[in-house]
Amino acid sequence: MANELEQMVLKKAQMWLDGHYDEATKKQVKYLIDNDMKELVESFYKDLEFGTGGLRGIMGVGTNRMNIYTVGAATQGLANYLKKNFAGEQIRVAIGHDSRNNSRLFSEHVADIFASNGFTVFLFDALRPTPELSFAIRELKCHSGVVVTASHNPKEYNGYKAYWTDGAQVTPPHDKNIIEEVNKITDVNMILTGQHPENITLLDEKFDEIYLNKVHELSLSPECVKKHHDMKIIYTPIHGSGVRLVPASLKKFGFTNVKLVPEQAVVDGNFPTVESPNPEERKTMSMAIDLAAKEGADLVLATDPDSDRIGVALRNKKGEYVLLNGNQTLVLLMSYQLTRWAELGKLDGKQYVVKTIVTSQMANAVAEHFKVKCYDCLTGFKYIAKIIRENEGKTKYIGGGEESFGYLGGDYVRDKDAVSACSLAAEAAAWAKETMGLTLYEWLQKLYVKYGFYREGLVSVVRKGKEGAELIQQMMVDFRANPPKTIVGSPVVKINDYLTLETTCLKTGVKTPIEQDKSNVLQWFTEDGTIVSVRPSGTEPKIKFYFGVKAPLASVADFEQVRAQLDAKIEAIKKDLKLE
């Protein structure tokens, strides 16, 4: 079998040696054929596919790598699909990119291909936050758009996200149909390049102002900001695209004391100061937290390289900085928006919020308190965008997000937006200080007393390469055949299977349909309210286990004790499921 695979890979590699590929690429392919069969197999054994985040992979030569040829084939396939969908129309597309190595090269290549296909092309003149690209598609009435980014992945990666007319990432059936068109691009000669450069318009700082003005419309407490404008804020763009617009947005909201981490305000696709440019990790946030401690800052904010994910650290009573997880950030931002909407008399039963199925149930409790509908959707912001699209003209979207550090306030963008999330977080801090004399961290603790102490955990099991992908698929098969009967002693009473789209009540055996798109996700619910969700990642070689536990919190004085109990319970669940 291995020999068959190697033969297939060698045949594909030979096509690159014989085809119209540049000499440097051919030289690298030849080197792999002669010296590194394992890497050759990884580079050619399959074609990069659109997952929940589009195209994403390690940069290098081969059909399973990010390079100008795989990006070119994806773009020509997308162009062909757009021509079929919008026959007779002048197709308009927008293109953005982040700070990663090759991002500018890839985005200019994408622009060239779209222009050569006769499209009207809007290309940002330099790196920009991903949410601004989503905004541009809507603002400039584009049919589609592309952003070149691998989000918070390590520096070896790059990616390609395709967007639809509403400014959201493509959803079924478009994603699969685009793949079909991409698969038809069997020769580099089928990719149109070098024609009609006059079709490309560069977007500059004037467009940034239009976007920032829209972000500013989210402001709910300008008077509180006025009184606390000099609140100390430390911000890090982690070498990425938030470097200019996050400080500009905070300034527009009225904040005058924002300091950037100087070493991380340098745009650099090698991310030299961090192992991984992911604001979820304390190590990545350490420089910002150290500077905050030195300055005595109220708030620490961070964005990932394409500025769609937000990291937040808050000071506790002891003066230590606590890094929030994505669930806590979402609960704070959603609670702030809903509280202010209610206080301003803007809630009339025609509003809603959205969260993903693996995100804290605390968001549901907050929404219920304000009598606002809370939708649960699949993981991936495109599914949140889909709900916004389906409700357009009927009900008003306030905010929503997912546990993976993504939040979106307002519907003028259709992807997670850390530019607006940073501004809302800062405004929420000013409001809490002015109206309650509380820090955001103290307010979060009060919310736990009000709604219950929800605590979440996550384990990512990484299995790389072809073998890893097969192992992950087998794990899901095994879990379906033999689900756990109990989790830490509490019986499993319900199973949600998003592949079969069925909920099974284990007490009665009754199955009921789930109204969702299909996805390879399992959820187990226990008698004591614990939820465990299992989901293979759509963009990375890993399978994720999400844990949600809950307990009442009588008072803030009990916070540390109850948190320790919930954390111990999460650790026990990991052991029970043999994940540690």
User: Same structural domain for residues 304 and 403?
Assistant: yes
Note down the domain range covering 225.
Answer: 211-451
pLDDT for 50 equals: 63
**pLDDT tens, 342-359?**
999 999 999 999 999 999
User: Same structural domain for residues 412 and 521?
Assistant: no
Per-residue pLDDT band at 539 (split at 50, 70, 90): low
pLDDT for 468 equals: 83
pLDDT for 580 equals: 67
Say yes or no to pLDDT of 52 above 60.
no
User: Same structural domain for residues 364 and 464?
Assistant: no
Confidence (pTM): 0.94
Tell me the CATH number at 237.
3.40.120.10
Distance CA 416, CA 384 (A): 9
pLDDT for 415 equals: 97
pLDDT for 85 equals: 96
Measured between its terminal Cα atoms, the distance across the chain in Å is 33
User: Same structural domain for residues 104 and 22?
Assistant: no
Tell me which of 9, 28, 45 is where a domain ends: 45
Average pLDDT over residues 434-460: 97
User: Same structural domain for residues 531 and 412?
Assistant: no
User: Same structural domain for residues 330 and 397?
Assistant: yes
Q: Are residues 288 and 312 in contact, defined by beta-carbon separation less than 8 angstroms?
A: no
Tell me the CATH number at 558.
3.30.310
**pLDDT tens, 245-259?**
999 999 999 999 999
Domain count of the fold of the chain: 4
User: Same structural domain for residues 295 and 315?
Assistant: yes
User: Same structural domain for residues 554 and 502?
Assistant: yes
DSSP assignments along 55-88, one per residue: EEEEBSSSTTSBSHHHHHHHHHHHHHHHHHHTTT
| Residues 6 or more apart whose Cβ sits within 8 Å of residue 495 | 483, 503, 504, 506, 522, 523, 524, 525
Tell me which of 180, 203, 226 is where a domain ends: 203
Question: Average pLDDT, whole number, for the chain?
Answer: 95
Residue 307 bears catalytic tag: no
Distance CA 300, CA 513 (A): 43
Helix (H) or strand (E) holding 508: none
Say yes or no to pLDDT of 108 above 60.
yes
Q: Which comes out higher in pLDDT, residue 500 or 467?
A: 500
What is the sign, positive or negative, of the torsion defined by CA atoms of 565, 568, 572, 578? Answer: positive
pLDDT for 55 equals: 85
Catalytically annotated residue among 151, 241, 404, 533: 151
Average pLDDT over residues 501-509: 95
What is the sign, positive or negative, of the torsion defined by CA atoms of 369, 372, 376, 379? Answer: negative
pLDDT for 243 equals: 98
Written as six digits, the tokens of 199 are: 């079709």
User: Same structural domain for residues 518 and 551?
Assistant: yes
Per-residue pLDDT band at 401 (split at 50, 70, 90): very high
The residues facing 59 across adjacent strands are 66
Average pLDDT over residues 122-136: 98
Q: Are residues 203 and 136 in contact, defined by beta-carbon separation less than 8 angstroms?
A: yes
Distance CA 134, CA 204 (A): 16
Average pLDDT over residues 474-492: 95
Say yes or no to pLDDT of 496 above 70.
yes
Tell me which of 415, 433, 451 is where a domain ends: 451
Locate the DSSP E strands across 139-224.
Answer: 144-148, 157-163, 200-203
pLDDT for 1 equals: 54
User: Same structural domain for residues 379 and 366?
Assistant: yes
Percent of the chain with pLDDT over 90: 89
Percent of the chain with pLDDT over 70: 98
User: Same structural domain for residues 292 and 429?
Assistant: yes
User: Same structural domain for residues 531 and 468?
Assistant: yes
